Amino acid sequence: MSTRRNFLQKMGLGALALQLASVKTFATDVPVDDIPYEGQTLRVAIMGLGGYGTRVAQSMQNCSRAKLVGVISGTPSKVTKWQADFGIPEKNCYNYDNFDAVKNNPDINAIYVCTPNAQHHGQVIRIAKAGKHAICEKPMAVSAKEAREMIDACDKAKVKLLIGYRMHFEPHTLEVIRMRKAGEFGQIRFFQGLCGFKTGDPKQWRLNKALSGGGSMMDIGIYALNGARYMVGEEPIWVTAQETKTDTVKFKDGIDETIQFQLGFPSGAVASCLSTYNVNNLDRFFLDGDKGFAEMLPSTNYGPINGRTHKGPINQPYTTHQTVQMDEFAAIIFDGKQPVIPVDGHEGLRDMKIIEAIYQACKTGKKVTLLA
């Protein structure tokens, strides 16, 4: 497997066409799916036409409130292919040098950044200056300072900044959170998040610190970190961490291979998490309280997500994560909808601050206190 996304793709791509694009509800006798949407449409240009950008594009074909209308890429051949595959008009195609001109293109009102981590900062700031809403893959930046600057730029331009936390809309995940809020697990005591895979091509951008900003922690590890926060329902107040590296040729300085990290929460709950580029089949969340538990296995891949609690299986519909995410983003931007778990720039900034503390704890061997 060459990348995390290829790993996850093997687990979930086959289900992409089979998963439910939406859930039927019956406020009237007519299913919501069959009622044509007549409101504002989120008209999106995707920046970065790699594997994940392609997955988002494919998933958006089933959106009701979001539409793929443009592309931004440094590879002309990819632009040509996307024009053919998705019917993108020439006037909505840009490269990394000229995409500031999108400011004068009314066809596009949002840009989804799917480029390497280190490029997010500058690209989102340019998007904000162009007056377009910015959607950015996670991690949103390679430092908390950069994340803060991205938030400030979007605030100044009065545009939205949303981070691609697709799991925040996933039905099994939301059911566990509902149960936790309802007190069905009692006092939360412990969370475990295991996220990892064996990374492949040593020349890929994820193993280049100048592009990735780090190793497994900046990639697959953010799922365990973010999951600990939304599953426990609190913000951690301290972190400890340990790094293990078995291959110093493949995982050079600044590229972490495996990190174990622990989080402490105000209530006394603790989390134990693992992020790795050297172990396959790690995709499990476990939440434990004094009245019950929840386990999700797999917990964060492209699906289908499965889970169980002390009450039995979690019976929620399977969805195409990116389809739901993009429709939800439209509702946030146009309707002011407040998601159960935030997906704004401040949510991304919180993760960045904790990731920096994890790296500090690895370096010093000491417990690091997290500031509010």
Candidate list 52, 132, 138, 160, residue with the active-site label: 138
Distance (Å, rounded) from C-alpha 360 to C-alpha 357? 5
Q: Which residue is catalytic, options 165, 223, 230, 359?
A: 223
Give the C-alpha separation, 218 to 117, whole Å: 8
DSSP string, 287-337: EEESS-EEEESS-SSSS---EEETTEE-----B-HHHHHHHHHHHHHHH--
d(CA 56, CA 105): 22
**311 given a catalytic annotation:** no
Degrees to nearest 5, angle at CA 112 with 37 and 117: 155
Q: Which amino acid is at 69?
A: V
Q: What is the DSSP letter of 250?
A: T
For 285, the enclosing helix (H) or strand (E) is strand 282-289
> Is 96 among the residues known to form the active site?
no
Closest CA to 112 of 59, 22, 43: 43
Per DSSP bridges, beta strands 238-244 and 258-264 are antiparallel
Residue 177's SS3 state is helix
Residue 35 to residue 27: CA distance in whole angstroms: 12
- Token pair, residue 264, equals 């402490």
- Triad 46, 160, 235: Cα angle to 5°: 105
Sign of CA dihedral 38, 42, 46, 51: negative
Active site residues: 138, 223
